[in-house]
Structure 1
Amino acid sequence: MIAELAPIWLPGCVVDPEQRTVEVGWGRGALQMSAVVGVGEIVDRCRQLPKRRWPEQIESWLRAVVAEGELATDEHRYGDVAERQRALLVQRGWSARTAGPVADALLPFGDHFEVVVFIRTGSELRRLTVVRRSMLGLGDPGVPSPVRLTLAEIAGLEPREQNGISILSRDGDPLVSMAIVDRDNLLPQASIGAGVLIGVPRLSTVAYCPADAGQARADALARWVSDSYRGAPDQCSPDLFWLQGDQMVQVPVTLATPPAAVLPPALKPQPRRTWLRHLFGR
């Protein structure tokens, strides 16, 4: 179907069914460019839909690929594209909910978050897609890691204390959410004792407290995260998580007003036992 329809929608494009690729072109005037792109992504997407919807999906994808090529050409005007890669930690599923016909370049991060790659172009962060990453050669060996480039940019963050809660933030900087990825340096408390209770209400804000600080502190953190998330232009997640070393689990928060954290038994204070109670089992 791609081989039959693509040349109608995009005259001059060439489909190779054996190699499962399509060559598309773009340009203005004498400046003409082209790229060969694998069709695996659109084939997989179509297989999840009724056959009657395949043509519209294929057309949208092809036109998006051409737009990606034009964008890749424009991005070279701003300098080394590889050095301008950045990564944002967002809520799991964010990319699927908001992406267009071409898939984002992303990395899964546990059960609750994902890391989406962007290109900094001027003052704008443009989402990097799988197609454009290939066009720009950003998947080649030796290309800088967007995660490392991002962590270097937030390495100097220092937490501020507010009513027993530690807050990492920088106004207008969506890279701050990546602090969870660099927990060894920016969140060393996560590997000490019971770890931390943590929230990422905004891309520019991470808040946490000791995981075993008790119910009152956990509730205060839940309220702070909820308030910070509500109405924020860079919302990330309204939830709380227990981060201990490399393990992260969600901590339920009630919908009451004010919200309260439902701590797992391991984080609840245990009643003290005197030696007499210990001897007689009381």
Structure 2
Amino acid sequence: MTDTSDSTVVEMIAELAPIWLPGCVVDVAQRTVEVGWGRGALQMSAVVGVGEIVDRCLQLPTARWAEQIEAWLHAVVAEGELATEEHRFGDVAERQRAVLVQRGWSARTAGPVADALIPFGDHFEVVVFVGTGDQFRRLTVVRRSMLGLGDPDVPSPVQLSLAAISDLRPEQQNGISVLRRDGDPLVSMAVVDRDNLLPEASLGAGVLIGVPRLSEVLYCAADAGQEPPDTLAGMVAESYRSATDQCSPDLYWLQGDQMVQVPVTLGTPPTALVPAALKPQPRRTWLRHLFSRQSGDLGG
């Protein structure tokens, strides 16, 4: 990425934006665009940085820049209208929520404006939402800025979500521990709050874990042998297939802050390919070896 390429995209935005959105103002030096929205006498506006759309354009052929810029500009206006509506439901900052989803979910399903994301390892990501009425709406980077939710004194969406699921307690099902609350997408965040909701993850070999639904987390002791992991794999596969709030069909070995994917066969029933480090190992001490040699000598 070069400064010249950046400038070329910004100049195209400055040239085309007033055509698609009459009245908008592009500041080339500050790399911002001011857009407006509203109805009748109620008119509002916001100044938004163009860094996101510049980066997106630079990953595409030049011939596609114009369509990307147009889609982004219209999406920014739509975000402003959403932000205005969200204020009608009370304090937006307190209604933030964070949901743990499979990594790549946002990239696969997002629109022209990027979601507000919090990194979480190699296998999952945390997407921020706003509760509006009975809906959870994805919070985008643009709307977060419009709503002032990036300020230091704003409540953390992660902490708000963890507080909402702090009362979860595991149930036992077929020897597997289950954290579940039907219809609650915040349950998957138990993986983030593992110190409180999954304390077993920090003991001994940790746990094998599955998050087939946003509303369900299943786990068993990582060193429990082969049968519990196979049971866990079957329960995760069945739950994932029937879920309307699918998260991940895979198993993971969670030990402290380390998470490793555990392969699962596609058989019926599925089988967990437990890492060798978790399988019982024969304990052959030097003393046992010495005694076995002595017994051999006496027998001779």
TM-score interval, smaller chain: over 0.9
1:247 equivalenced with 2:248 (yes/no): no
> In the alignment, which residue of structure 2 is the partner of 1:164?
175
* Local SS of the residue matching 1:19: coil
Deviation for aligned residue 1:2 = 0.3
Aligned residue number for residue 68 of structure 1: 79
Task: Give the alignment of 1:47-86 within 5 angstroms.
Answer: 47-86=58-97
Q: Describe the superposition over 1:131-172 as per-residue Cα deviations: whole angstroms up to 9, x where unpaired.
A: 000000000010000000000000000000011100000010
Q: 1:219 to 1:41 in 2, by over 3 A?
A: same
Q: Write the mapping of 1:97-176 to structure 2, written as runs, cut at 5 A.
A: 97-176=108-187
The one-letter code sitting in structure 1 at the alignment partner of 2:216 is T
**What is the distance in 1 between the residues matched to 2:195 and 2:213?**
21
CA distance in 2, matches of 1:54, 1:257: 48
Equivalent residue number for residue 42 of structure 1: 53
The code of the aligned residue for 1:179 comes to A
Match of 2:248 in 1: 237
1:76 Cα deviation from its structure 2 partner: 0.2
Q: Which runs of 4+ in 1 moved over 3 A?
A: 272-277
TM-score normalised to the size of structure 2?
0.92
Shift of 1:256: 1.4
Distance 1:18 1:274 in 2: 72
1:255: Cα distance to partner? 1.2
- SS for the counterpart of 2:76 is helix
Instruction: Identify the match of residue 272 of structure 2 among 261, 271, 279.
Output: 261
Listed as ranges, the gaps of 5+ residues in structure 2 are 1-11, 294-300
When normalised by structure 1's length, the TM-score is: 0.98
SS in 2 for 1:227: helix
Instruction: After TM superposition, give the deviation of residue 279 of structure 1 in Å.
Output: 2.2
Q: Distance in 2 between matches of 1:218 and 1:190?
A: 15
Structure 1 residue 275, shift from structure 2 partner: 7.0
Secondary structure of the structure 2 residue equivalent to 1:157: coil
Distance in 1 separating the partners of 2:90 and 2:196: 30
Matched, 1:224 2:212: no
CA RMSD of aligned residues (A): 1.2
Identity of aligned residues (%): 82
Shift of 1:280: 6.5
Tell me whether 1:195 sits opposite 2:223 in the alignment.
no
- Structure 1 gaps of 5+ residues are none
* Aligned mates of 2:292, 2:192 — CA distance in 1: 45
What is the deviation of 1:277? 4.3
Distance 1:17 1:245, change over 3 A: same
- Name the CA distance, whole Å, in 1 between partners of 2:63 and 2:34: 25
TM-superposed CA distance for 1:108, in Å, is 1.0
- 1:213-235: per-residue Cα shift (whole Å, max 9, x none)? 01111111001100010031000
